[in-house]
Amino acid sequence: MPKRKKAVFNWSGGKDSALALQKTLEENKFEIVSLLTTISEEKLKSSIHDIPLKLLLKQAESIGIPLYTVLLSKDNKTYKKGMSEAITHFKNLGVTHFIFGDIFLEDVKLYRENILYPLEMEIVEPLWGKTSEEVMNDFLKTGIKTKIVVTQADKLDQTFIGKEIDKDFAKSLPKGVDLCGENGEYHTFSYDGGPFKNSINFNISKPNLISYKFKLENGQIIDASYWRAELLA
């Protein structure tokens, strides 16, 4: 067997990430030396899924791969610096590839390429190019267990918080919502099955409605609201 190349897996803690990791482990082409997650330095939670660091560490322990964290400032201006430092750290360990669980968002992929390629790091996307239906079918076959923990409020209401992603899930989604939530409609926390060697115990609190203001590249400021649950270890 050819020698496996060393890689870092960019870990969100959600279903697509868990599926992409499972596929990578099954293919056995890479030696994954670490998971990597960006977390808010203010809240010590993952930047998108809002998973507490304590639960991220429990996921890593269950998977059996160490977790490396990149701290993000409130305005996210430290992202490029933090990622550059992480890449330098892993290049010194012989890492040549970064693995992601993206499906079809070209702008996200381009953003990653603009950061990683100049630093001579290759990108691997195990789910790329599949339809959301194909990804969901693959996910359900793995037996990975995951629950919704964040929803975009104008797409999915608070009743979706805590919902398990199972074979009946698609029937509950309103028209226009991507089956995998690839457009940000929902985010999840994975806790058992697939790459996990043991189940992770956690509780989900009553969801709160949280609103943010985002400034687009053209200068336009938009409001966005989310239903978000507190995850308790």
Mean pLDDT of 186-198: 97
Claim to verify: residue 21 and residue 115 sit in the same structural domain: yes
For residues 15 and 105, state if they share a domain.
yes
Pick from 117, 139, 125, 143: which is nearest to 199 by CA? 143
**Looking at the structure, do residues 33 and 100 belong to the same domain, yes or no?**
yes
Domain that holds residue 114: 5-124
Query: Do both 119 and 170 map to the same domain?
Result: no
Can you tell me whether residue 191 is helix, strand or coil? Answer: strand
CA dihedral 204, 208, 209, 211 (to 10 degrees): -90
Rounded CA-CA distance 151/37 in Å is: 20
pTM for this one? Answer: 0.91
Same domain? For 73 and 156 the reply is: no
Closest CA relative to residue 82, chosen from 34, 46, 38, 47: 38
Residues 108 and 155 placed together within one structural domain of the fold: no
pLDDT tens across 119-129, in order? 788 989 999 98
Residue 206 is classified by DSSP as: P
For 106-122, b/e burial (b = at least 16 CB within 10 A) is eeebeebeebbeeeebe
Single-letter amino acid, residue 101: G
Residues 107 and 158 occupy one common structural domain: no
Q: Give residue 79's pLDDT.
A: 78
Give yes or no: residues 117 and 148 share one domain: no
pLDDT tens figures, 49-70: 889 999 999 999 999 999 999 9
Q: Are residues 34 and 106 in the same domain?
A: yes
The answer to whether residue 137 sits within a structural domain is no
Instruction: Count structural domains, the chain.
Output: 2
